[in-house]
Amino acid sequence: AQSVTQPDIHITVSEGASLELRCNYSYGATPYLFWYVQSPGQGLQLLLKYFSGDTLVQGIKGFEAEFKRSQSSFNLRKPSVHWSDAAEYFCAVRRSGGGADGLTFGKGTHLIIQP
Amino acid sequence: GAGVSQSPSNKVTEKGKDVELRCDPISGHTALYWYRQRLGQGLEFLIYFQGNSAPDKSGLPSDRFSAERTGESVSTLTIQRTQQEDSAVYLCASGGVHYGYTFGSGTRLTVV
């Protein structure tokens, strides 16, 4: 079964600084990969997804992520964070090729923005 | 509608009562997931529906939990004889791998 690891439970970044949130997955083949953001009291919003092609994907709100097969990683990046980016970020993986596997989520990274 | 709709948005129930949570997916989305999110925690997979295939119920925590889906439309999650540990936000998502999965705003369940 696939699994997702987000090693950082909390990250604090100054406003205007760059950001990288780590995500590692465990699955033998190329999975479908997603990043979601959850603001306090809100549902989850899809930031970006990868399922094939260019390994650098662009998403909404200025976010991007890079799929690195050799490292089984799909890290999320943003060059300059804004106070409104403070939220919980979840990485998710779904097995490719069909099947009834659930969309598996990491435990999330809580992003704090310092003024 | 344009998004995934969940109702009710909030539900307070007494321990031992049954509750039914509803999810209206985006029209045309064949896949539908239910997740549970306890306060300050990540998402716990409950059940997955894909078209007319048999659902994957492997995440349901006990036989008090059940879910149904009519074709590719509405889904209901039923919790019987609710317990305090059932208190959580229940999230529904619909979609597919090539266009991602859209989440509803969730139902916040409080068992008192």
Check whether B60 has a pLDDT greater than 60.
Answer: yes
**Segment B76-97, tens digit of pLDDT:** 999 999 999 999 999 999 987 6
**Segment A30-67, tens digit of pLDDT:** 788 999 999 987 889 999 999 888 899 999 999 999 99
Taking an 8 Å cut-off on Cβ atoms, the answer to whether A100 and B33 are in contact is no
If you average pLDDT over residues B65-78, what whole number do you get? 93
Buried (b) or exposed (e) across A83-104, using 16+ Cβ within 10 A? eebbbbbbbbbbbbeeebbbbb
More confident position, B52 or B110: B110
Candidate from B42, B54, B105 with C-beta closest to A90: B42
Q: How confident is the model at residue B109 (pLDDT cuts 50, 70, 90)?
A: very high
Buried (b) or exposed (e) across B52-85, using 16+ Cβ within 10 A? eeebbeebbeeeebebebeebeebebebeebeee
Which residue of chain A is at minimal alpha-carbon distance from B91?
A43
With an 8 Å Cβ cutoff, the interface of chain B facing chain A consists of: 33, 35, 41-43, 45, 48, 50, 53-56, 58-59, 91, 93, 97-98, 100-106
Contact A2, A104 (CB under 8 A): yes
Check whether A93 has a pLDDT greater than 80.
Answer: yes
> By the CB < 8 Å criterion, does A96 face chain B?
yes
Query: In sequence order, which residues have a C-beta less than 8 Å from that of residue A6 and are 6 or more positions away?
Result: A21, A22, A23, A89, A90, A91, A106, A107, A108, A109
What's the CA angle centered on A73, arms A67 and A79, to 5 degrees? 65
